[in-house]
Structures are given as structure tokens and as C-alpha cells.
Structure 1
Amino acid sequence: AVFITGCDSGLGYSLALHCCSSSGLTVFAGLLEPESPALNFLRGVAEESGRLHFVPLDVTRGESVNAAVEHVSAKLKELDLHLIGVINNAGVMVFGEYEWLTDGLIEKQLDVNLRGTMRLTRQLMPLIRQHRSRVINVTSHCGLSALPGLSVYCATKAALNSWSDALRMELKKFGVHVVKFVPGKFLVVPELCMRRDLMLSSILYA
């Protein structure tokens, strides 16, 4: 089985479909929005395959993370499954020069892209050690080469890269691999930009 965050749309949605339909894996799909547009189609896949399980998850909230981990842990035991991987995919990007970003928009990116990944991984650590799960952190080329208008996003991904490198060394003794996955460009990235109108309003009227 594999646990994937940020499956409401975009990369996470595609990964959930691929792992379930093409790879034959059982997928625990973390969803932020209980009625996201992706859910209708994913429900069909879940009913047909029996291998797709939805997990309500807001990586910025500790209680949500704890509940998600408890749910996944219970399902693994119930279905006698091996957790082969955790894909930390949830992310948010805000375009705008740093001076114009509100504290809320800065904190949101830090909390989702960096703290959220750390928060979930820490709570999953007993399962990760037990199953020797592969931890896959979705980073970005922005963490390797900074771009104007994306200063905070770049900073979160650069920090995620460094954290992943250190975590890899820490978990090596348990036989756990930590991987940084840098995806290419997307024609559509709704999970990153889905709230751009709301974000723009908060900048303009702060």
C-alpha cells in the first residue's frame, strides 16, 4: 500500500490513479476537500478496484494528521497490508513579490509545504520503521534555483530538500530510503493555484 497526500487534483490525483489502476497497489489518498471535484471520479475507481481508500487530511492541523495516521494504521492491520511508501505531495504556491505577501500567505506556504510534510512524516515514523517504507518528498526545481515572485515557495522547497537529505541519513540505519522527487512542468497545476483569487484579494486588501 502507498499513502499519498494532496490527491484533490493535479499530481497527487494522477499518482493515486496510476498507483491504483496501473500498478495494482492499494492507495490511501489524502484529501483536503471532502467534496473536491476529483472525488466523483475517484469514487468510481474506488468502487471498481476496491483498492482506493479516502483519508480526510489537512497537513496543517495536528489533529487531522493524527486521525489520518490512526485510520491508515488500522486499515493496514485490517487488510493485512504492507506500507511500501509515503508520498508527501501536498503543496501550495503563491505568486507575488515578497513585499506584497501577507503574513497569512507566507505562513500558509510554510505550513503546507514544509511543516505539513514534517508533521505527517513524524507521526508516521513508527509505521515507516516497521514496514521500511520509502519516503518520497515532492520538491521542486524552485528549491534548487530561486525565481523572482516565488521567494517563499522557493524557500520552502529548498528547506524541504535539506530536511530530506538529513532525514535520509537518520533513517538509513533502519533500512528506510528517503527520496526527493522533482517533477517537471505541468500545463495545469490546480492544486497549487486553486485559491489564487482568494490569495490575490488578501494581498490587495490587506
Structure 2
Amino acid sequence: MIPSKNELVAISGASTGIGAATARRIAGRGYHVLAGVRRDEDADAIRADLIEPITLDITRADHIAALARRIADDPQKRALRAVINNAGIEVNAPIEVLPLGTWREQFEINLFGHIAMTQALLPALRDSRGRIVNISSVGAEATLPIYGAYAGSKAALESASDALRQEVRAQGIQVVIVQSGGVKTPMAEKSGPLSLRLAAAMSPEHTRLYGELIAATVKFQSAFLTRAITAEKAAARIAQITTTRRPRTRYSLGPDAAFTLPLNRILPDRLMDRIFAR
């Protein structure tokens, strides 16, 4: 039997991958998880003891308001221990090529949706002196070519997290950034083929300018994913970070992040560019 912690944890993007695995890990620690999903079939797949699926598109104000009401009106009056902002999308193409609408979509989900979640749930976290865990990416600091939009949205999330951490510290709320490296997830597996499809639709001039670069970057990332950590392993670490008593402000996730981030912080930009190019 798992002893109940008598507290809630809300997580977005819990349909598959890191989010689903983290929901199960957190529930395994005895917390009641409000797992944000977008489709009924995803809700059926994640529903389990201590896991309550919640319809949640973080770009929709009504969905976020409904989640806030669910927490405020919890029949057992359980406190909100943590919010894990995990939902995200990844569409990679050269900056010149990627349509502005796709740029806006990635920022809408990867940044503004999390800001909206945070704004709505801060009152509950203030009452519980709870925690916000924002899932970022190693790319927020060390960005590969064609990853400008995705990495840019994550860098913006990290800057917002840094400001928020200082704003709410006196209120007893902790803000933690998790800089994830490569993880084997459905989103990561779809990323390369999607980039190649976008490349196939480029103009002849853009193909001449960027075609080889896109192919090489996708090939590198696809090869790397064969050695990336699993979603389960990533989830175990995120669950530990979410529930530990005194978390750090930043964590790297995966061996590539643990290696790349310190290197990026000490080497000159042009040297890192050459390393990535090779």
C-alpha cells in the first residue's frame, strides 16, 4: 500500500513521454496527480490509482481556469504541492524558412501557456508554500542550427523562471528549472522526420542554402537519440526533484546535458560553433 501524502501535484503534457512517465512516478510517491491531457483516449490511458486525468490545453484559458477551480474545490481540501510545466512542441527549421505562425505556435505553448498556468495556480501554491518545476532544454543555452524557435522558447521560459524565483521567494514558493538533454519520447522521434518534410517543401534557393545543414543536423540528432535516456529514467529524476525537501534552482537531465552545459559556459561561442559543426 502507498501511504497518501494528502497533497496534489498538477502536470501538463501528461499524454505521453516524459509527462506520462512523471505522472506515474509522482503517484508512486503517494501524491494525487492531476495529469493534463488533450484527448479522451489519452485520459483513458493515463487514468490510474492516484492519477486523475484533466482535459488541459494550456493555450486555452477556460481549461486552465477549470484546473484552478478543481484544485480550489478539492473535496478533500488537499494542498497543491507542485506544478510541473511540461507541455511542449518542437518544430525545427532554419530561421529564414520557418513560418512566423509556427514560431508563434511554439512560443504560445512552450512559453505563454506555462506563464498562464503559473499565474492561475500561484494563489494555491502560495497557500501551500509549494513548488513550480519548469521543464526546459539544454538547447536553451547550447543551441544547434535549425533549433532557433524551440530553443528560443525554452530560453525565454528560463529567463521568466529566474525572475519568478526571485519574485516569489519571500512567499515560500520554490521555482526549479530542469534542463533536459536528449530523451527518447514520441516528440523527439517525430522531430527529425518533421524537419525533413519541411525541408522538402523549401524553395530551390533555400534548399541550396540550407538543405545539407538540415540533413546533417537531423542525422546527428537521430543517431544521438539511439543513446538518449528513456522517458522513465527522466521521469524518475523529475519526480525526485519535485519532491525533494531542498531543491537546487537548476538541474541538468541526462549525460549529454551534464557534459554540454558546463562546456558551453566556459568555451568561446565560436569554438562551440566549430564543435557543433563537426
Same fold (TM over 0.5): yes
In the alignment, which of 156, 166, 181 is matched to residue 184 of structure 1? 181
In the alignment, which of 148, 152, 155 is matched to residue 155 of structure 1? 152
In the other structure, the counterpart of 1:10 is 17
In the other structure, the counterpart of 2:142 is 145
Task: Return structure 1 stretches of 4+ with deviation > 4 angstroms.
Answer: 196-201
Question: CA RMSD for the aligned pairs?
Answer: 2.5
**Aligned residues of 1:3 and 1:27 also touching (Cα < 8 A):** yes
**Residues 24-35 of structure 1 correspond to what in structure 2 (within 5 A)?**
24-35=30-41
TM-score normalised by L of structure 1: 0.86
**Aligned residues of 1:91 and 1:191 also touching (Cα < 8 A):** no
Residue 120 of structure 2 is aligned to residue 95 of structure 1: no
User: Residues 83-135 of structure 1: CA distance to partner in whole angstroms, max 9, x if unpaired?
Assistant: 11100000111021122212221111000000000011001111111111100
In the other structure, the counterpart of 2:118 is 121
Structure having greater relative contact order (Cα 8 Å, sep ≥ 6): 1
Distance 1:198 1:97, change over 3 A: closer
Structure 1 residue runs without a partner (length 5+): none
In the other structure, the counterpart of 2:65 is 66
In the other structure, the counterpart of 2:171 is 174
In 1, Cα distance between equivalents of 2:188 and 2:32: 23
What SS is found at the alignment partner of 1:80?
coil
Q: What is the count of residue pairs matched by the alignment?
A: 196
What SS is found at the alignment partner of 1:7?
coil
Structure 2 residue runs without a partner (length 5+): 1-7, 203-278
**Aligned residues of 2:89 and 2:106 also touching (Cα < 8 A):** yes
**Aligned residues of 1:4 and 1:86 also touching (Cα < 8 A):** yes
Taking only the aligned residue pairs, the percentage that are identical comes to 31
In 2, Cα distance between equivalents of 1:156 and 1:171: 22
In 2, Cα distance between equivalents of 1:191 and 1:82: 34
Distance 1:103 1:137, change over 3 A: same
Paired residue type of 1:58: D
Distance 1:3 1:180, change over 3 A: same
TM-score normalised by L of structure 2: 0.65
In 2, Cα distance between equivalents of 1:164 and 1:35: 32
